[in-house]
Amino acid sequence: MLQHSMQKRIYYADTDAIGIVYHANYLRFCEMARMESLRSIGIELPLLLKEHGVQFAVFELGLKYHKPARLDDLVTIESAVANVARASVVYHQNIYLPDKSGGLLCEAKVKLVVVNKDMRPAPLPAALKQEIMR
């Protein structure tokens, strides 16, 4: 199934007053990484609704914080699809310092559901499911 890795520099805007990444920003980092993982297999989120009549919505998420990232750190965000169902996709995501030498900073589990333009549940189109599961 789909796996992806990307890096992100921690900027001042990502941190709190003492230079530690503000906890809610880890959600933003994971969102960026999920979007890039889909883009890496040719799925562009802005075009999903137009081309396939569906979009993804976050249904459930959980985060576990291990260590803080700090101003100017370069973090790696690893994303892996753990499950694809009829109308949902589950991602497991981990955020590390470079080459994992600094250890795990944060881990996330995110369940996305597939919805139509009216925000009603819809099946994941077969072509998208095939690309994600490849």
- Name the residues annotated as catalytic: 16
Helices 45-52 & 126-133 angle (0-180, nearest 10): 140
β-bridge partners, 92: 80, 109
Which residues fall within 8 angstroms of residue 89, CB to CB, at 6 or more apart?
A: 56, 81, 83, 111, 112, 114, 124, 132
List the structure tokens of 39: 């883009």
Torsion of CA 49, 51, 54, 56, to 10 degrees: -70
